[in-house]
Chains A and B, each alone.
Chain A
Amino acid sequence: MTDTNKDLVKKEAGVPEGVDRTKPRKVFKPDVDIIEEKEETVLTADLPGVDEKSLDITLEKNVITIRGRVETEIPAGCRLAYGEYEVGDYERAFSLSDEVDKEKIQATIKNGELKLVLPKATAVKARKIAITAA
Chain B
Amino acid sequence: MVWTDFDRFGFPDPWRALDRLNRAVSGSGLLAPSTSEFPLVNVWMDGDRAVVTTELPGVDPKDVDISVAGKTVTLRGARSLGDACKEGCEHRHERWSGNFSRSFDLPFVIDQNKVDAKFSKGVLHVTLPRAESDKPRKIAIKTE
> A residues within 8 Å of B by Cβ?
1-9, 31-37, 41, 44, 46-51, 73-86, 110-113
From B40, B61, B95, B122, contact of A85 by CB (8 A) = B40
**Is the beta-carbon distance between A78 and B46 smaller than 8 angstroms?**
yes
Query: Which secondary structure dominates chain B's binding surface?
Result: loop
Q: Does B29 lie within 8 Å of A86, measured CB to CB?
A: yes
* 30 A-B pairs whose Cβ atoms sit less than 8 Å apart in the complex: A2-B97, A3-B96, A6-B95, A33-B90, A34-B91, A35-B90, A36-B91, A44-B58, A46-B95, A48-B56, A49-B122, A50-B121, A50-B122, A73-B125, A75-B46, A75-B125, A76-B46, A77-B46, A78-B49, A79-B46, A81-B31, A82-B43, A83-B31, A84-B32, A84-B40, A85-B40, A86-B29, A111-B57, A111-B121, A113-B122
Measured CA separation A110–B61 after assembly (Å): 11
- B contact set with A: CB distance below 8 Å: 3-5, 29-32, 34-46, 49-51, 53, 55-61, 81, 85, 89-99, 104, 119, 121-123, 125, 127
Q: Which residues of A contact B37 (CB under 8 A)?
A: 8
Instruction: Give the chain B neighbours of A35 by CB distance below 8 A.
Output: 85, 89-91
Say whether A113 contacts B58, CB under 8 Å.
yes
A81 touches B44 (CB 8 A): yes
C-alpha gap A37/B82 in the complex (Å)? 14
A-B pairs with the 6 shortest C-beta distances? A112-B122, A2-B98, A113-B58, A112-B57, A48-B55, A78-B44
Q: Does A48 contact B123, Cβ atoms closer than 8 Å?
A: yes
Q: Is the interface of A mostly helix, strand, loop or mixed?
A: loop
B33's closest neighbor in chain A, by CB?
A84
Contact at B92–A81, with CB atoms within 8 Å?
no
A129 to chain B, nearest CB (A): 23
Residue in contact with A4 in the complex, picked from B31, B36, B57, CB distance below 8 Å = B36
